[in-house]
Structure 1
Amino acid sequence: MTRPYAEVIGDPIVQSKSPAIHNFWLGKLGLDAEYRACHVLPAELGDYFARRRGDPDWRGCNITMPHKQAAMAFLDEVDPQAARIGAVNTVVRGVDGRLTGYNTDAPGFLEPLQPLLADTHLFRMARILGAGGAARAIVAALADEGFTLVLAARDPAKARALLDELAPKGEHHAVDLAHFAPETDFAFDDRQGLLDLIVNASPLGMAGQPPLAFDFSHAPPGSVVYDIVTHPLDTPLLVEARQRGFPTVDGLAMLIGQAAVAFEKFFGAPAPREQDAQLREILTA
């Protein structure tokens, strides 16, 4: 007796929290399906999709590093937002075996910010630290929400090229990542009616990585500080932000948010988000 399944693929894959998230939701909804992890090497990617395409029980997969861009070559269709971002993290198999790619990182990143985005602001600015793969979805998402972006990278030319590609219409700025390390005496304007974000979209501050050098004199009053790192969940950036009185968003918010979009595409039912507190306990145990 077979049953529907989805999975996450990557190289490596043991670190993925996706099976825990999706199987938790499947259990809560009582759905007869499962979610697995599958280790796929880069050279095996084409064979993987060829095999899965013919499996009627396979609903699709999430994609983690390093396959988010390479996978696009093996799909029949790519959602316009994913095509713009240039990366796919969710593939869905249609009943006819056609494979469609999506990027759920962008809506997943925005989800915890929706209460703020529902308000009208005179000006929105986001300082984004890092210009790697994760930053692509974040830049596209925030540009679409009317933010002026300051994108910081070790290579400012890379940041400039990314802005020109993904957010060509705005007055955005590319700077060296080191710009935010020393103290500044910049006098921020009146905060009334403004929305400011500080986003760490880099692996800096992650376990085993160098620390993120950010001086909070660069954070306007009332800024929301958002770190997409999930290990540790409480990064030094978030700890200091809270100590200084800034509201914070951690990496699990984006991880769970993007998973919820994929879950509904795979299994045809909304994720039971009223269980988020219990899910967080499981993921942080």
Structure 2
Amino acid sequence: MSRPYAEVIGDPIAQSKSPAIHGYWIGRLGLDAEYRACHVTGAGLADYLAARREDPDWRGCNVTMPHKQAVIPYLDRLDPLARKIGAVNTIIRESDGTLSGYNTDAGGFLEPLRPLLAQSHLFRMARVIGTGGAARAIVTALAAENVVIVLAGRNPDKARGLLEELDPGGEHHSVDLALFGEPTDFSFDDREGCFDLIVNASALGMAGQPPLSFDLSHAPPGSIVYDIVTHPLETDLLRRAREAGFRTLDGLNMLIGQAAEAFIRFFGEAPPRDDGDARLRGILGA
């Protein structure tokens, strides 16, 4: 007897933690459902979606690198947020067989920051590293929270273009990533009442990728340092930031947060997060 299922697609896909996350929640809720991982290449994307469109048991999929923008032409509908971001990380098969694209990365990223963002601040600034699909979601999310963004990339012109596309009225800045790798003697003003955030929204520092060169002299006092990399979970950036006394947020925050939004769309129930994700984090860290 068939049963409903969702899955995650990407190239590569073996490293994905999504099956462990969704599988844990399915088990906790006792759902008769399944969540899988499926290796899909760029060349196989069209055939994959065409086949799944015809499968009534398929609830949809999460989309990981490098397909978050490539899937868009094959979808029937884009959620307004996904359209604005220009990237899709969740596809839902509607009851009539049409495919809708969503982006849950933005909400997942903001989730651990929401208590702070609910407060009033004199000024909000984020230094964000990266210009890929995840950075697009993060820039969009932060701009909507009235955060001034300094976006760093290996190509500053690409960073500038991304800022102008995603928040054309914002007073943001683009810089060469190399700038953050060199120490600065800049004297930060009084940060009382300010919200300061450092975000690695790139794959730099991930296992198998080049290291991220970021000198912590660029982090204002009281900054939160947030790295979306999940392998390793404690990146060099987070370790150095913690040792320097900064508050840190690891990549599981965004990963679990975005998965929770997708889970509701796949299976129609909220995932069990009553312990603050402690048991799930234990499984993912094992």
Asked if TM exceeds 0.5, the reply is yes
Provide Cα deviations, 1:45-95, integer angstroms capped at 9, x if missing partner: 112111111211111100111211111111110001111111111001111
Which runs of 5 or more residues in structure 2 are unaligned? none
Aligned to 1:127: 127
Q: Matches of 2:165 and 2:181 in 1, distance apart?
A: 27
SS of 1:274's equivalent?
A: coil
Aligned to 1:279: 280
SS of 1:234's equivalent?
A: coil
Provide Cα deviations, 1:139-190, integer angstroms capped at 9, x if missing partner: 1110011000000111110100010001111110000111111221111111
Q: Matches of 1:177 and 1:45 in 2, distance apart?
A: 32
Instruction: Give yes or no for the alignment of 1:89 onto 2:84.
Output: no
Whichever residue aligns with residue 222 of structure 1, its letter is G
Instruction: Give yes or no for the alignment of 1:45 onto 2:45.
Output: yes
Instruction: Give yes or no for the alignment of 1:248 onto 2:248.
Output: yes
| TM-aligned CA deviation for residue 213 of structure 1 | 1.3
Moved more, 144-153 or 35-44: 35-44
Whichever residue aligns with residue 164 of structure 2, its letter is D
Q: Matches of 1:41 and 1:193 in 2, distance apart?
A: 47
Whichever residue aligns with residue 4 of structure 1, its letter is P
Q: Is the 8 A contact 2:61 2:92 kept in 1?
A: yes
SS of 1:159's equivalent?
A: helix
Q: Is the 8 A contact 2:59 2:93 kept in 1?
A: yes
Task: Map 1:1-285; keep pairs closer than 5 Å.
Answer: 1-275=1-275, 276-285=277-286
Q: Matches of 2:230 and 2:268 in 1, distance apart?
A: 27
| TM-aligned CA deviation for residue 96 of structure 1 | 1.0
SS of 2:107's equivalent?
A: helix
Q: Matches of 2:59 and 2:210 in 1, distance apart?
A: 38
Runs of 4+ in 1 over 4 A off after TM superposition: none
- Relative to the length of structure 1, the TM-score reads 0.98
Length, aligned pairs only: 285
Whichever residue aligns with residue 219 of structure 2, its letter is A
| TM-aligned CA deviation for residue 132 of structure 1 | 1.8
Q: Matches of 1:14 and 1:207 in 2, distance apart?
A: 13
Q: Matches of 2:79 and 2:165 in 1, distance apart?
A: 17
Q: Is the 8 A contact 2:69 2:133 kept in 1?
A: no
Q: Is the 8 A contact 2:198 2:219 kept in 1?
A: yes
| TM-aligned CA deviation for residue 282 of structure 1 | 0.7
Q: Matches of 1:41 and 1:183 in 2, distance apart?
A: 41
SS of 1:198's equivalent?
A: strand
- Relative to the length of structure 2, the TM-score reads 0.98
Q: Matches of 2:43 and 2:155 in 1, distance apart?
A: 29
Question: Cα RMSD (Å) of the superposition?
Answer: 0.9
Provide Cα deviations, 1:12-59, integer angstroms capped at 9, x if missing partner: 111111111001000001111010111112122112111111211111
SS of 1:248's equivalent?
A: strand
Which runs of 5 or more residues in structure 1 are unaligned? none
Q: Is the 8 A contact 2:199 2:225 kept in 1?
A: yes
| TM-aligned CA deviation for residue 210 of structure 1 | 2.1
SS of 2:44's equivalent?
A: helix
